[in-house]
Chains A and B, each alone.
Chain A
Amino acid sequence: MKLARLRVAALGLACVVGATTGPSAQPVAPIAIRNARLVPVSGPPIDAGTIVLANGLIRAVGARVDVPAEAVVIDGTGLTVYPGLFDAFTDLGLGAATTGAAGAATPRPAPRPIRGPQDRPATTPWVQAADEFRADDRRIETWRSGGITTVVTAPRGGVFPGQAAVINLSGERREDVIVRSAAAVPLVLTPPGAGNVFPGSLMGVYAYVRQVFLDTRHATDASRRYDANPRGKTRPEHDRSIQALQGALQAKTPFLVPASSSAQIDRVLTFGRELEIPVVVYGAHEGYAAAARLAKARVPVLVSAHWPEKARDGDPDADELLSVLELRDKAPRTPAALAEQKVPFAFYSDGLSGPSEYLANVRKAVKAGLAADTALRALTLDAAQLYGVQDRLGSLEAGKIANLVVVQGDLLGDKSTVRHVFVDGRRFEGTADATTGSGSGARPSGRGGPSTPPSSIGGAVSGGRR
């Protein structure tokens, strides 16, 4: 009987919480999660509190809050609410997984022979992730069901692949999910392709990029002069790449530059200083050896959570180098070392298969010395800060966007289950078991379907409970 009633209630809830298809995807009524442990990140945890979401935003959060009468109440007993997690650098919604087109890693083909830097090889900085993003990427569900609510997604391919966007994994319409477009400019300082096309070498890439920035600054100056008084002057060339970069420089958009070893990090820091551009280093597996220098340079880091690992089907007798062994051993210590030096950093998934692997790897960093709450910050508020959206995302604060992950257990503990995920106030189900990563690709509740066990709806629900 009780079960039947629960089922009825569940269906009722489903109707209320509602359809995810159709234009009005927001839940009709406010949602309140009561008596849950709240981890706001921006402040100390609250052991038994309530959070109210309405119209896609957090309306109230605290130990004692008023719950509107019309709110749908979720019993949060035994559950913990965190801000939704970030994957601070990915290609979700772009590339092969969605379009099935040529792999995300290959540079767009050059339509004409490259005679030098002036032909702007492997350079497409005008491409906006915000314009290309496709919400039907199957990977989105996988990541969201594990608690990742916001991603910074960037085009791939070439030296200047385009510009990244901060995106909430909340819906089908591109227009609805963009939090911030043109949020960062990847600057991939590695040879983009075969060695026989410029730039074919690492030093070629550096020389090319240097020239591009010179050209950008020169063009800014030249077009200003021309616009002020065009008479008698040769019209400046129209250069789409330069235009895009001018915009980025003016907006002080950070450039995301890969660097893994300590020497590479040094090189990138030197280059960034020379070019006078704001730089964010991504990768940074040997960051533990460069933390002080990063701090001095005031350069934030996106730490790849994809720690180096031994190849599975590799040669068991192969004598790996000491440096390789050491890196594998120490890389997970990098976040702790960065934290010690007060280097701002966030995590990104770097090709990991799904959220449980992502979190498991973050856990390794905690085991290696990173404080758990710093780890959580790096997954939430610090990530938001890196991209200038900390005023609207990244913590449980009234007025911020309602991105939450509701977990049974400790998110960074060994065993936890994601029960619900809220993105832009819309509710989605979590994975059955967050630790094994057997993501069932939870769908927003209301669709029903056999793949999601009914128990994932969480604690007993009934409309109107306060």
Chain B
Amino acid sequence: MTRRIPLLATLTVAVCTAWPAVAQNATAPVTAIRNATILTVTKGTIEKGTIVIRNGRIATVGANIDVPRGATEIDATGLYVMPGIIDAHSHIAVDGSVNELSLSVTAMVGIEDVLNPDDIDIYRGLAGGVTTANVLHGSGNAIGGKNAVIKLRWGKEARALLFEGALPGIKFALGENPKRASASPNAGAERRYPTTRMGVIDVIREAFVEARAYQGRWRGYDAAVKAGDRTAVAPARDLALEPLVEILEGKRLVHAHSYRADEILQLLRLAEEFKFKVATLQHVLEGYKVADEIAKHGAGGSTFSDWWGYKFEVVDAIPYNAALMTDRGVLVSINSDSAEEHRHLNQEAAKTMKYGGLSEEQALKLITLNPATQLGIDKRVGSIEVGKDADLVLYTAHPLSVYAIPQQVLIDGVVYFDRAKDLQARDTRAKAKQALKDKEKAGAAPARSTPTETTPKVETTPRVEGDR
């Protein structure tokens, strides 16, 4: 992954040349966004409205409200403000591969261990209005690794990206990807199990059987200790099984990459067999075929706006999926699964008005309140309401218009993206770059030969990370 110098570096050159971020309002904890068209998502639209932010939270919202003296004012005349976009399926900010492809169950790995705060895709997503992302393990394994929900606080260190208090999650995957449909088998080599949809479900079932046994051992130990048994020995901890026990106990959300209606049902039934709920079905492009079942189970659906035609299992993908599932009572979000797509999720949401006739408010919810609810963070984000985090996007036109672009993006009341500042900084950066090049030429240290890299990279198996 490319490195970028974090903004907190104190050296002058770095401050001038890094993409501008964190225009700190450290001295003015009160900010007021004035005279905007406010799309609250939950409480309608406020014309010529004002939002007062205090200590990172929304303090007041309304058409005629008083702005405290000393507040930093953002003139939003002509602009539209909506809640920051929440991308429920992302693979940005990961150092190294997003897949631990070696085994079919890799619940022990976690995105949190390898967050990369220098990934430029954080900045690019921010510039597209995304303020929160559910960063997931890839879809290469039936049971993948743990997720990390982050806020796109560009310039902060890795730990400071984490969305405090978000419920932990984990990635499951069904269908072509975990069965390695696209890998060409090495002659003679035994292929990793599973290679059919039968095996995929079996892998998941076996893992939960093991998890139940593990849970049982620990419960036995806890009971013994409670009963006063001093000789009780704690079982050895197994980091691959613990997240599965958390799922059984309702403490970890399952985000299941899935396409075909039949595999969706298989997973829902398996979950019911083990008495847990699938939190979200990801992609779920045939969700419209089994929307009633999904709604009854209580799983959310996080899907694409209109991608199709790329794999066999998406042959029945239709852009009406979000609308159809919504109509049948499924809680739906639109996601990106792409560092490019997340730059215009507002447009993707607009497509659900075109394909299936969702209303403007329903469309906006697909990228704000709904994904927030799916991730268990709706008390904090997803709409413009008093008490919620001041994660806001200021658009130049109505966000569901193709012409709208983000002007400023705030997270916790801090401006993390400012288009005007970005435009201004380009010249400075170019100059700094040229200065370094010139300096190097002048110094002209002797360079050395390029070594031949013979270590095979991760790409010995076809890439499926972030695959849809």
Direct touch of chains A and B (CB < 8 A): yes
Nearest-neighbour CB distance to chain B for A367, whole angstroms, equals 11
Asked if A371 is an interface residue, CB under 8 A from chain B, the answer is: no
Question: For residue A226, which residue of chain B has the nearest CB?
Answer: B233
1/0 per residue A419-456: CB within 8 Å of B?
Answer: 00000000000000000000000000000000000000
Instruction: Please tell me which one of the listed residues A105, A203, A289, A309 contacts residue B114 in the complex, with CB atoms under 8 A apart.
Output: A203
Q: Which of A257-288 contact B (CB under 8 A)?
A: 261-264, 266-267, 270-271, 286, 288
Which residue of the partner chain A has the closest CB to B465?
Answer: A201
B64 at the interface (CB under 8 A from A): no
Which residues of chain A are near B432, meaning CB under 8 Å? 322
Q: Which of B97-113 contact A (CB under 8 A)?
A: 97-103, 106, 108-111, 113
Distance of A8 from chain B, by nearest CB (Å): 44
Given known pairs A207-B239, A323-B5, the reply for A270 and B99 (CB within 8 Å) is no
Contact B108 A262 (CB under 8 A): no
The answer for the CA separation of A288 and B182 in the assembled complex, in Å, is 45
> Which residues in A have their C-beta under 8 angstroms from that of B437?
325
Give B11 Cβ to nearest chain A Cβ, in Å: 7
Interface contact B109-A222, CB-CB below 8 Å: no
Is the CB of A240 closer than 8 A to any CB of chain B? no
Question: Closest residue of chain A to B457, judged by CB?
Answer: A195
Q: Which residue of the partner chain A has the closest CB to B118?
A: A263
How far, in Å, is B335 (CB) from chain A's closest CB?
21
Q: Which of B296-304, B364-372, B445-453 has 4 or more CB atoms under 8 Å from chain A? A: B445-453
Q: Which residues of A contact B449 (CB under 8 A)?
A: 311-313
Which residues of A lie under 8 Å from residue B111 when comparing CB positions? Answer: 203
| Residues of B228-254 contacting chain A, CB below 8 A | 233-234, 236-240
Any A CB within 8 A of the CB of B117: yes
- The one of A115, A200, A289, A314 that contacts B5, using a Cβ cutoff of 8 Å: A289
- Residues 376-401 of B, flagged 1 when their CB comes within 8 A of A and 0 if not, give 00000000000000000000000000
The interface on chain B, measured as residues whose beta carbon lies within 8 A of the other chain's beta carbons, has a size of 65
Interface of A is mostly: helix
When distances are taken between beta carbons in the complex, the residues of chain B under 8 Å from A196 are: 101-102, 192, 460-461
Query: Nearest Cβ in chain A — how far from B241, in angstroms?
Result: 11
For the complex, what is the distance from the CA of A288 to the CA of B8, rounded to whole Å?
Answer: 12
A323 to chain B, nearest CB (A): 5
Contact status B101-A191, CB under 8 Å: no
Which residue in B99, B116, B433 is a CB contact (below 8 Å) of A201? B99
Q: Counting CB contacts under 8 A, is A310 at the interface?
A: yes
Q: Judging by beta carbons under 8 Å apart, are A313 and B459 in contact?
A: no
Cβ contact within 8 Å between B159 and A206: no
Q: How many A-B residue pairs have CB under 8 A?
A: 179
Which residues of chain B are within 8 angstroms of A321 by Cβ–Cβ distance? 2
Residues of B within 8 A of A323 (CB): 2-5, 118
* A267 x B158 contact (CB < 8 A): yes
B428 shortest CB reach to chain A, Å: 11
**Per-residue A-contact encoding for B438-468, CB less than 8 Å = 1, 0 else:** 0110000111111000011111110000000
Chain B residues within an 8 Å CB radius of A203: 94, 96-97, 100, 109-111, 113-114, 137, 145
B3-16: contact bitstring with A at CB < 8 Å (1 yes, 0 no)? 11110110101100
Q: Which residues of A contact B448 (CB under 8 A)?
A: 309, 311-312
Q: How far is the CB of B119 from chain A (nearest CB, A)?
A: 9
Specify which chain B residues have a CB less than 8 angstroms from the CB of A199 in the assembled complex.
100, 102
B227 interfacial by beta-carbon distance below 8 Å? no
- Interface size, chain A (Cβ < 8 Å): 56
Task: Check: A227 CB closer than 8 A to any chain B CB.
Answer: no
B429 → chain A closest CB, angstroms: 6
Q: Which A residue's beta carbon lies closest to that of B119?
A: A263
Which residue on A lies nearest to B3, using beta carbons? Answer: A261
Contacting pair A267 B237 (CB below 8 A): no
A211 located at the interface, meaning its Cβ lies under 8 Å from any Cβ of chain B in the complex: yes
Q: Which of A189-223 contact B (CB under 8 A)?
A: 191, 193-204, 206-208, 210-211, 214-215, 218, 222
Interface 9-residue window, one of A134-142, A327-335, A379-387 = A327-335
Which of A200, A202, A261 contacts B118 (CB under 8 A)?
A261
Tell me whether A201 and B109 are in contact in the complex, defined as CB-CB below 8 angstroms, given that A289-B9, A326-B14, A329-B440 are known contacts.
yes
B461 to chain A: which residues have CB within 8 Å?
195-196
Q: How far, in whole Å, are A225 and B118 apart by their CA atoms in the complex?
A: 47
B1-32 interface with A by 8 A CB criterion: 2-6, 8-9, 11, 13-14, 17
Do A266 and B159 have beta carbons less than 8 Å apart? yes
Is B9 within 8 A of A207, CB to CB?
A: no
The answer to the question of B187 belonging to the interface, with a C-beta cut-off of 8 Å to chain A, is no
Closest to B443 in A: A329
Name the A residues within 8 Å of B341 (CB-CB): none
Does A69 count as interface, using CB distance less than 8 angstroms?
Answer: no
B95 interfacial by beta-carbon distance below 8 Å: yes
Asked if A329 and B436 sit within 8 Å, CB to CB, the answer is yes
Residue B157 CB within 8 A of the other chain: yes
Residues A263 and B440 in contact, CB atoms below 8 Å apart: no
Contact A201–B445 (Cβ < 8 Å): no
Give A15 Cβ to nearest chain B Cβ, in Å: 43
A336 to chain B, nearest CB (A): 12
Residues of A contacting B433 in the complex (Cβ-Cβ under 8 angstroms) = 322, 325
**Does B447 lie within 8 Å of A309, measured CB to CB?**
yes
* Cβ–Cβ contact B233 & A198, under 8 A: no
- Contact A325/B440 with A263-B6, A311-B447, A314-B450 known, Cβ cut-off 8 Å: yes
A194 touches B447 (CB 8 A): no
Q: State the Cβ distance, A419 to closest chain B Cβ, in Å.
A: 27
Residues of A within 8 A of B102 (CB): 114, 195-200, 204
| Docked pose: A288 CA to B9 CA in angstroms | 8
Encode contact with A along B80-103: 1 for CB under 8 Å, 0 otherwise. 000000000000001111111111
In the bound complex, do residue A262 and residue B6 qualify as a contact, i.e. CB atoms below 8 Å apart? yes
A413 contacts the other chain (CB 8 A): no
- Taken together as a complex, chains A and B put the C-alpha atoms of A328 and B110 apart, in Å, by 32
B25: min CB distance to chain A, Å: 24
Flag if A202 contacts B97 (CB, 8 Å).
yes
Alpha-carbon distance A207/B98, docked complex (angstroms): 14
Q: Bound complex: CA of A215 vs CA of B446, how far in Å? A: 49
* Contact surface of A with B, Cβ cutoff 8 Å: 105-106, 114-117, 191, 193-204, 206-208, 210-211, 214-215, 218, 222, 225, 233, 261-264, 266-267, 270-271, 286, 288-289, 309-314, 321-323, 325-330
**B residues bordering A, Cβ < 8 Å?**
2-6, 8-9, 11, 13-14, 17, 94-103, 106, 108-111, 113-118, 137, 145, 157-159, 192, 233-234, 236-240, 429, 432-433, 436-437, 439-440, 445-450, 455-461
25 CB contacts below 8 A, A to B, read A117-B240, A193-B455, A195-B97, A195-B99, A201-B96, A203-B111, A203-B114, A203-B145, A206-B110, A206-B113, A207-B145, A208-B108, A215-B236, A261-B3, A263-B6, A263-B116, A266-B157, A267-B114, A288-B9, A289-B5, A311-B448, A312-B449, A322-B433, A325-B436, A329-B439
Q: Beyond the given A200-B100, A262-B9, could you list 5 further A-B residue pairs with CB under 8 A, ordered by the A residue number?
A: A196-B460, A322-B429, A322-B433, A325-B436, A326-B13
Q: Which 7 A-B residue pairs are closest in the complex by CB-CB distance?
A: A202-B96, A195-B458, A312-B447, A198-B102, A206-B113, A201-B97, A204-B100
